[in-house]
Amino acid sequence: MTALAHRYDFVLLFDVTDGNPNGDPDAGNLPRIDAETGLGLVTDVCLKRKVRNYISLAHDQSPREPQAGEKRYEIYVREKAVLNLQHQRAYAALNLEAAEAPAEAPTEDASEEKPSKGKARTRAKEKRKGSAGDAEQADAWMCQNFYDVRTFGAVMSTGVNCGQVRGPVQLTLARSIDPIVPQEHSITRVAVTTEAEAEKQQGDNRTMGRKYTVPYGLYRAHGFVSAHLARQTGFDETDLQQLWQALSQMFEHDHAASRGQMSARALYVFRHDSELGNAPAHRLFDLITIRRREDVAVARHFSDYQITINREHIPAGVQLDEQAF
């Protein structure tokens, strides 16, 4: 295991063609949009989900205990998971027991006031929690076993207490380079769901629906990797390489009719010589500019954009690594 000795800041470019990159359930699943600028948005939660999905495909997800010194790549926040059961696995593996609240001596005075609901809830909560020392051990076990915990962090204080982890890798919302114009499509299914619907349509079994797509959008997201926080969670160089691989390939294993064609296009990684960094992240991000080519009225492909990197102003102590996909 090689600990991280450098801070990293990175820019991820990806695009969508005739698809919905991240629907908003509060807006009828319309593609997310910045209401003031019209720029498309993809949440950091959505991007982390795709990283998790890729890691779960690339690594064994069987629920077993890690061997001594072994780091596993299970995913903590996975589909249909019950997170409190994951916490219990840590306590069982470490032979820990949740701290029980001390039993109260029975009282002979029947008229004595019973504890309020609030106090009862507090006592029940105390029974579920582990001690501070137990939580620290469970925290380390969760980081060792779950890739997304040691990468993105997690709040694991429900049920038995496994503590809270602040992840070394963080992402911003992705924002499109140009405003997007979502398209609404009416679609028809030549079948119905229930017999009642079939009788109502007298055998002309059809169901109307709708879907939303973005004709084309190029999105830009920023990310950060902290060597200091990585040391606390055990996130190392091997994990970092897994992250770069996931960012480059996550869309290749996430195709769906609603998402159209989504592709990772480029990854620009700024590597600092020191753990604390040699320049502010915003200065580095400003060195990369992306504009639609002057002879293109409406962008419909990645080649319709021009990417310019101001290499002359890369600060001392910072190296830029480019990966085009």
Give residue-wise pLDDT tens across range 146-155. Answer: 999 999 999 9
> Would you say 19 and 259 are in contact if contact means Cβ atoms under 8 Å apart?
yes
Mean of pLDDT over the chain:
90
pLDDT at 125 over 60: no
SS3 helix, strand, coil % of the chain, rounded to 5?
30, 30, 40
Give the HSE-up count for residue 64: Cα atoms under 13 Å, Cβ half-sphere.
Answer: 9
From the list 311, 282, 314, the residue with the least C-alpha distance to 9 is: 282
Read off the pTM.
0.87
User: Are 76 and 142 spatial neighbours (Cβ–Cβ below 8 Å)?
Assistant: yes
Question: Would the pLDDT of 61 be above 90?
Answer: yes
Token pair belonging to 175: 């924002």
Cα–Cα separations (whole angstroms), residue 249 to 120, 123, 208, 253, 312: 50, 48, 35, 7, 31
Quick one: tokens of 213?
């797509």
253/214 Cα distance (integer angstroms): 20
How many helices (H) and strands (E) would you count in the chain?
Answer: 9, 14
Cα angle for residues 39, 44, 45 (degrees, 5° grid): 125
What's the pLDDT at 188? Answer: 79
Contact 251, 221 (CB under 8 A): no
Cα–Cα distance, 88 to 102 (Å, whole number): 21
Q: What is the pLDDT at residue 111? A: 47
Q: Which residues, in sequence order, are CB contacts of 275 under 8 Å at separation 6+?
A: 4, 5, 6, 7, 227, 228
Phi, psi of 66 (to 5 degrees): -70, 145
**Which amino acid, residue 272?**
H
Give the per-residue pLDDT at 117. 57
CB 260 within 8 A of CB 51: no
Within 10 A of 197 (CB to CB), how many other CB atoms are there?
Answer: 13
**Is residue 107 predicted with pLDDT exceeding 50?**
no
Judge whether 278 and 271 are in contact, CB under 8 Å. no
Q: What is the pLDDT of residues 133-179, one digit of tens each?
A: 899 999 999 999 999 999 999 999 998 999 999 999 999 999 999 99
